[in-house]
Amino acid sequence: MKLGESKEDYLEAMYILNRQKGYVIKDEHGYVELTAEGKKIAKKVYARHLLLKEFLELIGVSPETANHDACRMEHTISEESFQKIQELVKKIKKENASNEQMQLTN
């Protein structure tokens, strides 16, 4: 599992997944592994994190603050709000690409 941020992010993710029965397996040596369902959930949370971080950066939040805030938001945001943010990010990216294309042709 690659979280790409920090040891604290990893430990928080493992704590959350461990609270949910059946998502983490710990062997007799203390090694931890995600179950198939645990991996599925971890990927979903990480995808949310990336999108929320991207959204925050698009609206002018610094990368460091965006990362920090996305870490908190990814666990609490409703599916409805997440979907609307996802739609807005797609729209902004499409508009930005159109604007860049127009600048190239002028």
- Give the amino acid at 75: H
Asked whether residue 1 is domain-assigned, the answer is no
CATH of the domain at 43: 1.10.60.10
In sequence order, the 6+-apart residues with CB closer than 8 A to the CB of 32 are: 14, 24, 25, 26
Asked whether residue 36 is domain-assigned, the answer is yes
Asked whether residue 14 is domain-assigned, the answer is yes
Per-residue pLDDT reduced to its tens digit, 33-48: 888 988 898 898 899 9
Asked whether residue 62 is domain-assigned, the answer is yes
Domain count, the chain: 1
Asked whether residue 2 is domain-assigned, the answer is no
CB-CB contact of 49 with 74 (8 Å): yes
pTM of the model: 0.71
DSSP state of 34: E
Hey, what are 16's tokens? 């959350």
Full residue range of the structural domain in which residue 49 is found = 7-98
Per-residue pLDDT reduced to its tens digit, 51-100: 999 999 999 999 999 999 999 999 899 999 999 999 999 999 999 888 88
Asked whether residue 17 is domain-assigned, the answer is yes
CB-CB contact of 59 with 53 (8 Å): no
